[in-house]
Amino acid sequence: MTGPRVLVASRNAKKLAEMQRILEEHLDGVTVLGLDDVEPYDEPVEDQPTFEGNALLKARAGVAAAGLPTLADDSGLCVDALNGMPGVLSARWSGPPKSDDRNNELLLAQLADVPDERRTAYFMCAVALVLTDGRELVVEGRMDGRVIREVRGSGGFGYDVLFEADDRPGVTTAELSIADKDAISHRGKALRVIAPQVAALLRG
């Protein structure tokens, strides 16, 4: 007899590793699967205007295709001087194909004339759980900080090379150790809130 299983609906290898790492700390006895562990299916277009909407879209698709309880996240960088953009468009900010390097170059160009004191920003993450019986749960996490003027660091992914968190001034989130980033990140905060609820629901 196998124990409870949950699918994490993400194709982003670094994001999947981060989610599995944090969840497995809190989901004792629950097997955390990735999309490569199930039969391939057509993933939905992320066309919702909110992080919550996109996370639910992906989680519902995972349940429908794989028949497993599914967790999905949607996250992005919200820059105050850009009226909260790139927001839900963060991964596709510079257009197709997706490219972290081009996204970062575009963001730096858009903020070139913005003074340091107005370069405030925050990372937002919504994590959705959808169960096979249709029950749904969404939690959010947030990490406040600022966008610096040059790329620094080799860890993390996405905009981490340009973001200094208020909780760790002087270093980008790409310069933090994995443990330090997990402790303060938007995704880490959301996953630590939802993980005990996932465990309770899966054990039913």
Q: Which of 73, 74, 100, 182 is catalytic?
A: 74
- pLDDT band of 24, cuts 50, 70, 90: confident
Query: Is 187 annotated as a binding-site member?
Result: yes
Query: Is 10 annotated as a binding-site member?
Result: yes
Closest by CA position to 103, among listed 122, 127, 85: 85
CATH architecture for segment(s) 5-203: Alpha-Beta Complex (3.90)
Query: Is 98 annotated as a binding-site member?
Result: no
Q: CA 127, 190, 193, 196 torsion: positive or negative?
A: positive
pTM of the model as a whole: 0.94
Domain locations in the chain as residue ranges: 5-203
Q: 180 catalytic, yes or no?
A: no
Residue 70 structure tokens = 């599914």
Closest by CA position to 10, among listed 62, 81, 45, 68: 62
Query: Is 159 annotated as a binding-site member?
Result: yes
Instruction: Note the pLDDT tens digit of each residue in 131-161.
Output: 999 999 999 999 999 999 999 999 989 999 9
